Chain A
Amino acid sequence: MPLSIEAAPAAGDAFTAEVAPHLHLLYRTALRMTQQEQAAEDLLQDTLERAFLNFARYEPGTNIRAWLLRIMSNVRISGFRRVARRPQTASLDALEPFSIYGAAWAEGIATEDVESVVLNRIGEEAILHAIDRLPEDFRMVVVLSDVEGFSYKEMAAILEIPIGTVTSRLFRGRQQLQRSLWEHARDAGILAKAQGSRSA
Chain B
Amino acid sequence: MSNAREAGTATRAWVAAAAPRLGVTEATVRRWIRSGRLNPSCGEVYRNVFPYLDHELSAEERAEVERHIAACPDCEDHFAFDGTVLRFVRQRAPRALMPTALQERLLAGFRGRASPDG
B110 touches A27 (CB 8 A): no
CB of A193 within 8 Å of the partner chain: no
The main secondary structure of chain A at its interface with chain B is helix
Q: Residues of A contacting B111 with CB < 8 Å? A: 12-13, 16
A45 touches B110 (CB 8 A): no
Interface-forming stretch among A62-70, A78-86, A87-95, A171-179? A171-179
A53 touches B50 (CB 8 A): no
Interface-forming stretch among B2-10, B22-30, B65-73, B89-97? B89-97
Interface residues on chain A, size class? 35 or more
B54 touches A152 (CB 8 A): yes
B114 touches A4 (CB 8 A): yes
Q: Residues of A contacting B78 with CB < 8 Å? A: 99, 101
Query: How far is A19 from B109 in the complex, measured between Cα atoms in Å?
Result: 13
Rounded to whole Å, the gap between the CB of A85 and the closest CB of chain B is: 25
Q: Residues of A contacting B118 with CB < 8 Å? A: 3-4, 7-8
A23 touches B110 (CB 8 A): no
Query: How far is A53 from B115 in the complex, measured between Cα atoms in Å?
Result: 8
Whose C-beta in chain B lies nearest to the C-beta of A174? B50
Whose C-beta in chain A lies nearest to the C-beta of B89? A146
Rounded to whole Å, the gap between the CB of B47 and the closest CB of chain A is: 7
A146 touches B86 (CB 8 A): yes
Query: How far is A127 from B117 in the complex, measured between Cα atoms in Å?
Result: 44
Q: Residues of B contacting A41 with CB < 8 Å? A: 102
Q: Residues of B contacting A181 with CB < 8 Å? A: 85
Q: Residues of B contacting A35 with CB < 8 Å? A: none
Rounded to whole Å, the gap between the CB of A144 and the closest CB of chain B is: 12
Query: How far is A119 from B88 in the complex, measured between Cα atoms in Å?
Result: 7
Q: Residues of A contacting B93 with CB < 8 Å? A: 124, 127-128, 131, 146-147
Query: How far is A94 from B97 in the complex, measured between Cα atoms in Å?
Result: 34
Q: Residues of B contacting A45 with CB < 8 Å? A: 106
Query: How far is A26 from B97 in the complex, measured between Cα atoms in Å?
Result: 10
Q: Residues of B contacting A26 with CB < 8 Å? A: 98
Q: Residues of A contacting B96 with CB < 8 Å? A: 24, 27-28, 31
Q: Residues of A contacting B77 with CB < 8 Å? A: 101, 111
A27-B98, A48-B110, A99-B82 as given contacts; A177 in contact with B89, CB under 8 Å = yes
Rounded to whole Å, the gap between the CB of B24 and the closest CB of chain A is: 28
B90 touches A128 (CB 8 A): no
A127 touches B94 (CB 8 A): yes
A147 touches B95 (CB 8 A): yes
Q: Residues of A contacting B82 with CB < 8 Å? A: 99, 101, 174
Query: How far is A178 from B51 in the complex, measured between Cα atoms in Å?
Result: 17
CB of A20 within 8 Å of the partner chain: yes
A12 touches B94 (CB 8 A): no
B117 touches A111 (CB 8 A): no
Residue contacts A-B, CB under 8 angstroms, 7 given: A4-B118, A12-B113, A28-B98, A44-B106, A45-B106, A48-B110, A149-B90
